[in-house]
């Protein structure tokens, strides 16, 4: 069986008496379009934080491209091709959009350590950043400080930074969260246009987006995987309806 | 200012401080020792800005490196007869770098108040050691009789302070070149990133901790050299280079000038030391009072220090000019 | 134990409110001056003078909080550090200008001087009384924080002020009151300790490191923490001065570093 892009085996996390993740077995195939859904408090963001290395799991293994990275640092995982966006926009607020993306590219290329030549002379970095921004159609904002952009555009910058890392696996934590509905269509376009060789895991509450984007869906409830399957299977599953989709229709 | 979109060429305005320094040398020969002090503190505050203004590490312990450099030079000269000026500087640099690396590696894993406390504790420990180990450091009396050979065998440290001033000016110039390069480099952009959003830096794969240790060590080295310069120029080193108080002074100088901008470190010490030289001797209580009030006012209303205010004035002026132009059409 | 009374106030303001107030010693000094003045100038009895110190400082702190501190709650660590340094400088200069270089003279009433004979040993009466008062304070505080919702409310307000307000918590009053309590305790400590830690213009700076150490080791936001830390420091300090005087405060600092590295949150730190 070919190596998965990202895999967890029996991943567990407890904070004292509180168990937020229990025996999570998860598998993301290369090039996948996978969604993780679940009610609030199900432990989705905790799961992503464990995947990226922000939190250490209590037990279990995390494999990236077949390599065990359970104990690896955040930086090590990024260099192996793991990128993420945050649910709450986490950008370099006072810096221009171009710099935000350039910082990511510089890290990837190993340029960030260089101390002598001025940064702006590394034109290949600025060029690549501009290309990326152009692809997301925010090139016009390149010199604008991020904090001056409308929120929807900031979410796009968030995605741009992650793409700058040329990840093999991309974790998107609620990319459309807080975005006004007229702008979320743009986000969906961007997501649909993402390169096919990247494996993407998306956490979302927007069911419309999930069902249009995902090829497989995992449902997480109270730290455990309830069920996993194709969108049709999930939509038809009575347990999922009662636990989760029932909530969404009331919301 | 730094980053991938900024222009790194040296603007003509950036040569002004150096011209001013040279003019000062010829115009104010009686004040050259004060001038040398100012230059030394500019170098120190520059090193502090590197970690505080750019990397965002808030420290009350920077005097530890300054003081260690100062005492290293002093002890080596007075107790062990090492009088070559460059070797003294080198020894101070090495000592400060070692301390910076050792303490940085250990404390940069912590944050905020814990980090602040640890930096304070470190400089306090050094102060205690300097105080008690009087056989080595002269204790509370300080270490006098620090001799330094003429620079390059030719330029003796004269009583007018001419050699000292030029010596410190050159040292500052080199330090400035190095820091300026660093700030405009990708490393500098990365430091700004760490200050702006550490979480994001982790998420783009930056080994934040190691970078912080590196810049902390570099900053410590610079501060150590500055401390040694002070000892060489004064031919004396005392307890007032260590502990909370000088760290506080450095912070005040930096905030006065403007944090996170290269030239804040130039403006701050000039303003502070000149004012101190004039006021503190005449009215010591008023001096503390005044600085305290100034600090509070700056924090509340003028966070960017003197340079921040200058910026605001320039912006207001250009807006005024633009609107005047617009209405003239 | 003086260290405790003063420092627990700091644990309250820094720990509960998250404000880095290095100027805490200023309030202690003010308490000391009020106390001394009350007894010497107005002939007030000991207890009254102490209470006057507490209330006086608390009241003054409210003014300061409303005018100055409250502007900086969201301003970040650097601003708070610099502001409190500024405040220290201003108050130190003022104290020197008003009171001169001499320490405030404090005359303990007769019933507090001398020795108590307890457990087969002689203990200075005053110290015993101090320990007793500290114990009472810790109990009262514990009641106040743990048993009522006050502690939780302050933390909520610090975490997310808008949210707390929308739930009906008057955050301004809450902060004001908490700050007043923390500072009042400092004043109380300064007053009670005026005999042991002389009250003069250099006070806030001189003892700053110790207050911070007690709080950092004890743990921010904790009430027991500073108590244990102050005890430990007191014992260690005396022991060191007795056995290895050449080392001075060196060991305290080294111990601080060691403890903070082992437990960055302090021994009983609450902000996990």
At A103-159, the pLDDT tens digits run 999 999 888 888 888 888 888 999 999 999 998 888 888 889 999 998 888 988 999
Band of pLDDT at residue A245, cut at 50, 70 and 90: low
The answer to whether B8 contacts A161, with C-beta atoms less than 8 Å apart, is no
C147 against C8, higher pLDDT: C8
Residue B193 · residue B212 · CB < 8 Å: no
Q: For residue B187, what pLDDT is reported?
A: 93
The answer to whether C213 contacts B117, with C-beta atoms less than 8 Å apart, is yes
In chain A, what residues touch B181 (CB-CB under 8 Å)?
115-116, 118
- Residue B298 CA to residue C87 CA, distance in Å, equals 12
Q: For residue B170, what pLDDT is reported?
A: 93
User: The pTM is what?
Assistant: 0.87
Residue C219 · residue C225 · CB < 8 Å: yes
At C120-141, the pLDDT tens digits run 666 677 777 777 777 787 777 7
Q: For residue B294, what pLDDT is reported?
A: 87
Least confident of A158-162, C199-203, C264-268: C264-268
**Average pLDDT, stretch B215-223?**
96
Band of pLDDT at residue C270, cut at 50, 70 and 90: low
- Residue C159 CA to residue C179 CA, distance in Å, equals 16
A49 against C219, higher pLDDT: A49
The answer to whether B5 contacts A120, with C-beta atoms less than 8 Å apart, is yes
The answer to whether A119 contacts B192, with C-beta atoms less than 8 Å apart, is no
**Average pLDDT, stretch C53-80?**
83
Q: Is the pLDDT of residue A234 over 90?
A: no
In chain C, what residues touch B110 (CB-CB under 8 Å)?
260-261, 264
Q: For residue B106, what pLDDT is reported?
A: 87
The answer to whether B60 contacts C81, with C-beta atoms less than 8 Å apart, is yes
Smallest Cα distance from A232 to chain B, Å: 34
In chain B, what residues touch C68 (CB-CB under 8 Å)?
296, 300
Report the complex ipTM. 0.87
Query: DSSP character for C168?
Result: T
In chain B, what residues touch C247 (CB-CB under 8 Å)?
128, 132
**How many percent of chain A have pLDDT more than 90?**
26
Q: For residue C246, what pLDDT is reported?
A: 63
Q: For residue B173, what pLDDT is reported?
A: 94
Least confident of A45-59, B19-33, B190-204, C141-155: C141-155
Q: For residue A250, what pLDDT is reported?
A: 46
Residues 153 through 192 of chain A touching chain B, CB cutoff 8 Å: 161, 164-165
Sign of the CA dihedral running C211, C213, C214, C218: positive
H/E run at residue C2: helix C2-10
In chain C, what residues touch B293 (CB-CB under 8 Å)?
86, 90
Q: Closest-CA residue in chain B for C85?
A: B292
Give A6's strand partners. Answer: A28, A64
H/E run at residue C254: helix C250-262
The answer to whether A75 contacts B193, with C-beta atoms less than 8 Å apart, is no
- Residue B35 CA to residue B29 CA, distance in Å, equals 9
Among A73, A86, A95, select the one facing B192 at the smallest CB separation. Answer: A95
A65-76 residues labelled b (16+ CB within 10 A) or e (exposed): beeebbebebbe
Band of pLDDT at residue C147, cut at 50, 70 and 90: low
Sign of the CA dihedral running A102, A108, A109, A115: positive
Residue A165 · residue A104 · CB < 8 Å: yes
Chains touching chain C, criterion 3+ CB pairs below 8 Å: B
C116 against B316, higher pLDDT: B316
Q: Which residues of chain B are at the C interface, by a Cβ-Cβ cutoff of 8 Å?
A: 52, 58, 60, 106-107, 109-114, 116-118, 120-122, 124-125, 128-129, 131-132, 244-245, 248, 251-252, 255, 259, 285-289, 291-296, 298-300, 303
Among B52, B106, B244, select the one facing C208 at the smallest CB separation. Answer: B244
Q: Is the pLDDT of residue A251 over 50?
A: no
Band of pLDDT at residue C241, cut at 50, 70 and 90: low
**Average pLDDT, stretch A44-61?**
89
| R_g (Cα) of chain A, nearest Å | 18
Q: For residue B275, what pLDDT is reported?
A: 85
- Residue C130 CA to residue C236 CA, distance in Å, equals 19
Q: Would you call A200 an interface residue with chain B, using a CB distance cutoff of 8 Å?
A: no
Chains touching chain B, criterion 3+ CB pairs below 8 Å: A, C
Contacts of B298 (CB under 8 A, 6+ apart): B255, B256, B305, C82
At B60-71, the pLDDT tens digits run 999 999 999 999
Closest C-alpha among B249, B245, B85 to residue B168: B85
C85-98 residues labelled b (16+ CB within 10 A) or e (exposed): bbbbbbbbbbbbee
**How many percent of chain B have pLDDT more than 90?**
40
- Residue A207 CA to residue A211 CA, distance in Å, equals 6
Query: DSSP character for B278?
Result: I
**Average pLDDT, stretch B223-238?**
92
In a mutational test of the B interface, the residue from A99, A111, A114, A117 whose CB has the highest number of chain B CBs within 10 Å is: A99
Report phi then psi at A218, rounded to 5.
-110, 135
- Residue C229 CA to residue C184 CA, distance in Å, equals 20
Q: Closest-CA residue in chain B for C69?
A: B300
Among A54, A96, A104, select the one facing B5 at the smallest CB separation. Answer: A96
Q: Is the pLDDT of residue B269 over 90?
A: yes
Among C209, C250, C264, select the one facing B129 at the smallest CB separation. Answer: C250
- Residue B89 CA to residue B77 CA, distance in Å, equals 11
At B135-162, the pLDDT tens digits run 888 888 888 888 888 877 777 777 778 8
Band of pLDDT at residue B224, cut at 50, 70 and 90: very high
Q: Closest-CA residue in chain C for B251?
A: C82
In a mutational test of the B interface, the residue from A54, A103, A125 whose CB has the highest number of chain B CBs within 10 Å is: A103
Q: For residue B295, what pLDDT is reported?
A: 87
Compute the count of residue pairs across chains B and C with CB atoms less than 8 Å apart.
125
Residue C31 · residue C187 · CB < 8 Å: yes
**Average pLDDT, stretch C8-15?**
76
Among B113, B122, B299, select the one facing C83 at the smallest CB separation. Answer: B299
Q: What angle do CA C9, C208, B98 make, to 5 degrees?
A: 130
Q: For residue C116, what pLDDT is reported?
A: 66
Q: Closest-CA residue in chain A for B5?
A: A120
CA B147 to chain centre: 24
Q: For residue C272, what pLDDT is reported?
A: 35
Q: Closest-CA residue in chain B for C83?
A: B296
Band of pLDDT at residue C92, cut at 50, 70 and 90: confident
Smallest Cα distance from C111 to chain B, Å: 39
**Average pLDDT, stretch B86-99?**
94
At C168-219, the pLDDT tens digits run 777 778 888 888 888 888 888 888 777 777 777 777 777 888 888 887 777 7
DSSP string of C204-246, one letter each residue: HHHHHHHHHHHHHHH-TT-SHHHHHHHHHHHHHHHHHHHH-GG
The answer to whether B5 contacts A98, with C-beta atoms less than 8 Å apart, is yes
**Alpha helices per DSSP H over chain B:** 16-27, 32-49, 63-78, 85-107, 112-132, 134-137, 162-184, 186-196, 198-203, 208-234, 244-257, 264-275, 281-282, 284-301, 305-328
Q: For residue C37, what pLDDT is reported?
A: 80
Q: For residue B66, what pLDDT is reported?
A: 96
Among B120, B124, B251, select the one facing C85 at the smallest CB separation. Answer: B251
Edge-to-edge strand ranges of the sheet holding A6-15: A18-28, A6-15, A59-64, A67-68
Q: Closest-CA residue in chain B for A93?
A: B196
Q: Closest-CA residue in chain B for A80?
A: B205
For residue A63, what are its two tokens?
Answer: 């494999």
Q: For residue A244, what pLDDT is reported?
A: 62
């Amino acid at each position: 069986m070919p190596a998965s892009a990202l895999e967890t085996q029996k991943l567990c996390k407890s904070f004292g008496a509180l168990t937020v993740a229990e025996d999570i077995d998860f598998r993301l195939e290369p090039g996948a379009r996978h969604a993780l859904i679940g009610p609030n408090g199900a432990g989705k963001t905790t799961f992503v934080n464990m995947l990226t290395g922000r939190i250490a799991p209590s037990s279990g293994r995390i494999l990236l491209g077949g390599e065990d990275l359970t104990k690896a640092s955040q930086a090590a995982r990024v260099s192996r091709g793991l990128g993420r966006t945050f649910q709450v926009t986490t950008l370099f607020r006072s810096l221009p959009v171009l710099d935000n993306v350039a910082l990511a590219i510089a890290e990837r290329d190993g340029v960030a350590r260089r101390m002598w030549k001025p940064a702006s002379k590394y034109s290949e970095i600025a060029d690549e950043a501009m290309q990326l921004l152009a692809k997301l159609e925010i090139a016009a904002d390149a010199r604008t400080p991020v904090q001056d952009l409308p929120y929807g555009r900031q979410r796009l910058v968030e995605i741009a930074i992650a793409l700058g890392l040329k990840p093999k696996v991309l974790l998107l934590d609620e990319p459309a969260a807080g975005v006004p509905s007229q702008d979320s269509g743009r986000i969906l376009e961007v997501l649909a246009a993402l390169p096919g060789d990247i494996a993407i895991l998306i956490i979302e509450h927007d069911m419309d987006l999930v069902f249009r984007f995902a090829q497989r869906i995992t449902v997480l409830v109270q730290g455990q995987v309830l069920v996993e399957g194709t969108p049709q299977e999930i939509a038809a599953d009575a347990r999922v309806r009662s636990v989760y989709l029932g909530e969404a229709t009331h919301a | 200012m730094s980053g991938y979109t900024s222009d790194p060429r040296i603007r003509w305005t950036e040569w002004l401080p150096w011209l001013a320094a040279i003019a000062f040398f010829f115009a104010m020969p009686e004040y050259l020792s004060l001038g040398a002090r100012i230059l030394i503190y500019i170098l120190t505050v520059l090193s502090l800005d590197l970690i505080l203004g750019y990397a965002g590490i808030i420290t009350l312990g920077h005097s530890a490196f300054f003081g260690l450099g100062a005492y290293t030079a002093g002890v080596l000269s007075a107790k062990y007869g090492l009088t070559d000026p460059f070797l003294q500087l080198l020894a101070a640099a090495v000592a400060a770098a070692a301390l910076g690396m050792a303490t940085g590696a250990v404390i940069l894993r912590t944050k905020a108040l814990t980090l602040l406390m640890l930096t304070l504790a470190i400089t306090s420990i050094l102060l205690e050691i300097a105080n008690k180990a009087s056989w080595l450091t002269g204790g509370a009396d300080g270490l006098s009789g620090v001799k330094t050979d003429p620079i390059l065998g030719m330029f003796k440290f004269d009583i007018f302070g001419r050699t000292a001033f030029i010596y410190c000016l050159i040292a500052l110039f080199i330090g400035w070149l190095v820091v300026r390069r660093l700030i405009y480099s990708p490393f500098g952009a990365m430091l700004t990133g760490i200050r702006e959003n550490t979480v994001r830096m982790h998420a783009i794969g930056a080994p934040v901790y190691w970078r912080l240790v590196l810049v902390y060590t570099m900053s410590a080295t610079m501060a150590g050299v500055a401390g040694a310069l002070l000892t060489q120029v004064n031919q004396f080193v005392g307890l007032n280079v260590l502990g909370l108080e000088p760290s506080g002074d450095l912070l005040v100088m930096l905030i006065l000038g403007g944090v996170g901008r290269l030239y804040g470190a130039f403006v701050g010490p000039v303003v502070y030391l000149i004012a101190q030289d004039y006021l503190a001797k005449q009215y010591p209580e008023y001096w503390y009072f005044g600085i305290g009030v100034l600090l509070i006012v700056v924090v509340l209303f003028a966070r960017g220090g003197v340079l921040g205010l200058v910026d605001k004035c320039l912006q207001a002026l250009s807006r005024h000019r633009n609107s005047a132009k617009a209405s003239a059409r | 134990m003086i260290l405790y009374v003063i420092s627990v106030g700091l644990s309250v303001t820094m720990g509960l409110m998250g404000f880095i107030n290095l100027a805490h010693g200023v309030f202690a000094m003010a308490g000391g001056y009020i106390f001394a003045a009350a007894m010497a100038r107005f002939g007030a009895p000991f207890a009254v003078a102490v209470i006057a110190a507490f209330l006086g400082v608390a009241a003054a702190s409210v003014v300061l909080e409303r005018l100055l501190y409250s502007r900086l709650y969201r301003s970040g660590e650097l601003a708070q550090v610099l502001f409190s340094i500024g405040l220290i400088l201003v108050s130190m200069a003022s104290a020197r200008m008003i009171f001169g270089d001499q320490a405030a003279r404090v005359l303990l009433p007769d019933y507090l001087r001398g020795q108590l004979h307890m457990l087969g040993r002689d203990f200075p009466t005053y110290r015993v009384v101090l320990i007793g008062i500290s114990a009472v304070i810790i109990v009262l505080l514990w009641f106040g924080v743990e048993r009522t919702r006050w502690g939780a409310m302050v933390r909520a307000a610090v975490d997310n002020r808008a949210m707390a307000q929308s739930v009906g918590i008057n955050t301004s009053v809450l902060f004001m009151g908490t700050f007043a309590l923390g500072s009042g305790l400092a004043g109380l400590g300064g007053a009670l300790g005026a005999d042991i830690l002389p009250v003069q213009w250099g006070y806030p700076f001189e003892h700053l490191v110790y207050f911070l150490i007690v709080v950092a080791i004890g743990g921010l936001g904790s009430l027991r923490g500073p108590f244990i830390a102050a005890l430990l420091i007191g014992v260690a300090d005396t022991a060191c001065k007795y056995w290895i005087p050449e080392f001075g405060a060196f060991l305290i600092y080294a111990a601080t570093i060691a403890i903070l590295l082992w437990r960055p949150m302090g021994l009983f730190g609450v902000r996990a």
